[in-house]
Every structure is written in C-alpha cells, then in structure tokens.
Amino acid sequence: MSPVKTAIVTHGHADHARGGNDHVIATADTIEIMKRRYGENCAKKFTVLDYGEELKIKDVAISLHPAGHVLGSAQVLLQWRGQRAVMTGDFKTVPDSTCTPFEVVPCDLFVTEATFGLPVFQHPHPKHEIEKLLHSVKSQPERSHLVGAYALGKAQRVIKLLREAGYEKPIYVHGSYKKLCDYYKSRGIDLGDLKSPAHMDKETFRGEIIMGPPSALKAQWARRFPDPVVCFASGWMHIKQRAKQSGVELPLVISDHADWNELTETIHATGAQTIWVTHGREEALVHYCRSQGLNAEPLYLQGREDEDEG
C-alpha cells in the first residue's frame, strides 16, 4: 500500500494505521496512539475529529462515530447529496469499558468488516473467559500464567476485565505494553498495578499473571517464568486446532471483533439496503445479506493481510 495525501484512519492497529501519509484525519485518541507507535512525525499534518463532528471536503461531509473496538476506534460516515455511507473499520457491539461503546449509524450503504463472518463464530461472554483464567490461577498456585494478548486494545481490555473481576494483585507486563498502557491510564482507564517482570527471581512468578504480546510467548523472554500455563486471548481461540497448534494450554475467547450475531444484527439495525463486506470472511455474510433481500457484494481490499489481531 502506498502513502496517500489524505487518510481517514479508523483506529491504531497496524492493518489500519500506517505512517507516511501526508494528512491524517482521526479521533484524538487514534492520533495519539499512532504517534506513540509510529513516532510524532508519522504524518505531516493531523486533523482531530471528535465523535459526531463534521468535516467538509468538497461536497462530502465526513464524520466519525464510535466503533467499540479499541480506544479511539471509529466508523466513518460519508454524506453526499443526501446519501449516507458508513465504513465500520473494525468493530464490536458488546460492552468494553476501555473504549466508547459502538453506535448504530443509519445509512444507505454499509461497508462492514467480517473477521468472524461465519455462523460458527459466536463469542462467549468475556467475563466467563476471565473466570476460567482466575480459576486456573487459583487451582494451580505453583505455576505461573502467561497470557498472550495484542499490545493495543486486547491487553488493556484483559487487564481491565481482571480488575473488574476483583483481581487486585500486580499484573506483570512485557515492556512493549508500557507506552500504550500508560496512554490508556492517562485517559482515565484504571488498569491497577502493572509491574515489569525484568530482573526478578523466577520463584516470584509462581501463582502470578504475566502478560505479553503473542510473539513474546515463544521467545527467550517467556523462559524466565516457572512452569507457565500458556493462555491466549483472541477471538481465534474459537478454533481449538489453532490453540493446540500454537501451544496454548488455556485458550481465552475474548474478541474485539463482532461475532456472527453482532454482524447480522448490526446490518439490520443500520437500515442499509446495500452492504459491502470486507476484512475477513466475506462470502457467508454476502450470502446471508442476499437471503434477506439486501444488495450485497464482497469488497476485496488491496494490500490487506489475511489475518487480523482478532
């Protein structure tokens, strides 16, 4: 993908936000997250758009609306001569206390992501998954628990869910989490006591929870923890085979993407008559929309990698 003159960025994940564009339009949180990940000068110019605020470019009115995916995430509404088109970016509709809740934006054309666009994908309640983790910690106090979670969004959400479930002990976090966790905290999201596991005795970690990005779980870094129960928080953990292959002992199905029911309910809620499906499993959702009498097409994006952060 090549840099562009003006980019409307829905959120800070690497498959949606890149450095090197001239002008970036995004929410304040997304811009701050981009600067922390890609550097202060990752674009020449930034325009902050608050949720619901309108910006006119020629005769198109652009506005951003909460997507409920990660902090700062937005859907994009384009209005032109009375026609309304919404691009969801990544989204979910289930509550997440680390970001603003998803908002249904009525429109004529709805361009939806479809990461989990198959009827088999029905996410369990995240509280239930956190209970599984806490139960495992309690029943195996001699082992450490090593939780893999992507650094932007998923890590903070899992930490927040642990706090909401009453877990008050320090959580040991990989160095790569620091910048983003600090930013979330600065935005009033209470993550409790986070500690670096560096330079600590191996025995310290028995009965403790340690978190790091998926790449760190297989690295030298992970060897300092005693007899770890390897956990991974992702919507992909639905697929037992995948958990097994990646050596995950305790899969936690915690997703920042809409599942099949959320996708289909949202499509109806927007009132849109035309649906373009992208970013994942397009076919099943296109088929579903057509069976509901809607116009639907897959939209294959250029330069998109196959898999998302889940």
Name the one range near Zn ion by CB under 5 A: 9-17, 129-137, 205-213, 247-255. 9-17
Q: How far is CA 195 from CA 153, 156, 208, in A?
A: 18, 14, 11
Binder of Zn ion out of 6, 7, 15, 222 (CB under 5 A): 15
- Check residue 32 for interaction with Zn ion (CB under 5 A): no
Q: What angle do CA 300, 302, 308 make, to 5 degrees?
A: 75
Q: How far is CA 122 from CA 125, 147, 255, 264, 292, in A?
A: 10, 22, 10, 12, 20
- Check residue 282 for interaction with Zn ion (CB under 5 A): no
Positions 77 through 96 that interact with Zn ion (CB under 5 A): 90
Name the one range near Zn ion by CB under 5 A: 14-22, 39-47, 123-131, 241-249. 14-22
Please, which residue, 137 or 159, has the CB nearer to Zn ion? Answer: 159
C-beta of 299: minimal distance to Zn ion in Å?
14
C-beta of 2: minimal distance to Zn ion in Å?
19
**Exposed/middle/buried for 26, CB within 10 Å: 0-12, 13-18, 19+?**
buried
Binder of Zn ion out of 9, 12, 13, 143 (CB under 5 A): 13
- Check residue 29 for interaction with Zn ion (CB under 5 A): no
Strand partners of residue 80: 83
Name the one range near Zn ion by CB under 5 A: 8-16, 96-104, 133-141, 283-291. 8-16
What's the rounded Cα separation, in Å, for the pair 104 and 92? 11
Please, which residue, 26 or 250, has the CB nearer to Zn ion? Answer: 26
Convert 191-204 to b/e letters by CB count within 10 Å (16 or more is b): beebeebeeeeeee
Query: Which positions touch Zn ion (CB under 5 A)?
Result: 13, 15, 90, 308
